[in-house]
Structure 1
Amino acid sequence: MKRVLLLGDSIRMGYEPLVRQGLEGLAEVVAPEENGRFAKHTLWGVNLWMRDLGKPDIIHWNNGLWDLHHEAPMVEALTSLDEYIGQMKRILNELQRTGANIIFATTTPIPPDGVGRSNAEIDLYNAAVVEVMDANGVEVNDLNRLVKEDLAGNICEDKLHLTELGNQRCAAQVIEKIKKYL
């Protein structure tokens, strides 16, 4: 049975149980117990997690929301675009060393009245990182587009995390992408 590694922040943690359930009997789904937070944290932990969880055959991964965070009165994202892309390239390099099939998920949007980050920045960072993934032959799972189709139905009152329905929708799309490699 193939091993699937899920990497990401609390968005991943929200849909993870549904992905496990949906791939039961088809794949072993593993993930760090902790939140992957911003790209630098994932870069720090990725090899530790893979040692603990075993060599993956398929990796589904995202970083972004933490990198884009602005804690008031900050006016710039926690991680600049150049830093983000540099760190994402380094993470990708570590993941590619495994020989696993890699799927990158775009960062999910927030409602127009969300705080701490903006969709304009999310779109800018997504476009830049998708360019990197395309250049490296990495499949992209556009969770941003999926969630944008029904922001009110997919995003919680906290204006960041996914609702139960949002988790179900994202899990279904994640499962669909992963199944291509089973």
Structure 2
Amino acid sequence: MKMKKVLLLGDSIRIGYQPLVRAALEGKAEVVGPEENGRFAKHTLWGANLWIRDLGTPDIIHWNNGLWDLHHEAPMVEALTSLDEYIVTLGRILNELRRTGAAVIFATTTPVPVDAVGRSNAEIDAYNAAAAKLMKQHGVEINDLNAVVKRDLQNFICEDKLHLSEAGNRACADRVIEAVRKYI
């Protein structure tokens, strides 16, 4: 019997936990993902079909965009991607991903420490709530990685106040494995 293919899409948070997911599912599923960072939603919209073509049609897609969309580099005061544009773009990505026939799981954007620069948890929470509403309207499962990281923010986030520590990568990988395992 052919193994199911799991496609992981997302930014550097995904890049951090992907090797752990791949190792844990070895022999049970083929776990793939682009080498490049999925960055902001418009980049993933642009790249999704290219990555699917290059990596093969998946059976399961676990995906997130958010941290890049929310970023505002000083002196910017607004997020790179407005909330409205973010939701429209997520909808367009979802349409592309669903054309594969794969089960789609959307992961919430992970939190940052209160003293992080360029992003705030209030913004992250607003974007996550809007994304969750969209995904629920379309019957898409939501994997709440935000809640996983919030459980132990101090130990799960690196000193850069954005990326996951080894423990954070492990905690998120465990949740991703749990989310995709039911489709394998």
- TM value normalised by structure 2: 0.98
Name 2:90's counterpart in structure 1: 88
What residue is the counterpart of 1:17 in the other structure? 19
Following the alignment from structure 1 to structure 2, what is the Cα–Cα distance between the partners of residues 177 and 81? 26
Aligned partner letter, 1:146: V
Deviation at 1:35? 0.1
Q: Distance in 1 between matches of 2:111 and 2:72?
A: 15
Corresponding residue number in structure 2 for 1:124: 126
The equivalences for 1:45-64 within 5 A come to 45-64=47-66
- Could you say which residue in structure 1 is the equivalent of 2:171? 169
CA RMSD of aligned residues (A): 0.4
In structure 2, list runs of 5 or more residues that go unmatched.
Answer: none
Percent identical residues:
75
User: Which residue of 152, 155, 158 maps to 1:156?
Assistant: 158
1:37-89 per-position Cα deviation (integer Å, ceiling 9, x unaligned): 00000000000000000000000000000000010010000000010000000
Letter in 1 for 2:108: T
* DSSP 3-state at the match of 1:123: helix
Distance 1:149 1:31 in 2: 27
Cα deviation code 1:128-182 (max 9, x no counterpart):
0000000101000000011001100100000000000000000000001100101
1:144 maps to which of 139, 143, 146: 146
SS of aligned partner of 2:22: helix
Deviations 1:79-107, CA, capped at 9 Å, x for gaps: 00010000000000000111100110000
Return the alpha-carbon distance in structure 2 between the equivalents of residues 101 and 46 of structure 1. Answer: 15
1:105 and 2:119 correspond: no
Q: Which amino acid aligns with 1:119?
A: N
Q: Deviations over 1:99-136 (max 9, x none)?
A: 10011000000001111110000000000000000010
Q: Secondary structure at the match of 2:96?
A: helix
Extract unaligned runs of 5+ from structure 1: none
Normalised to the residue count of structure 1, the TM-score between the two structures is 0.99
Q: How many residues align?
A: 182
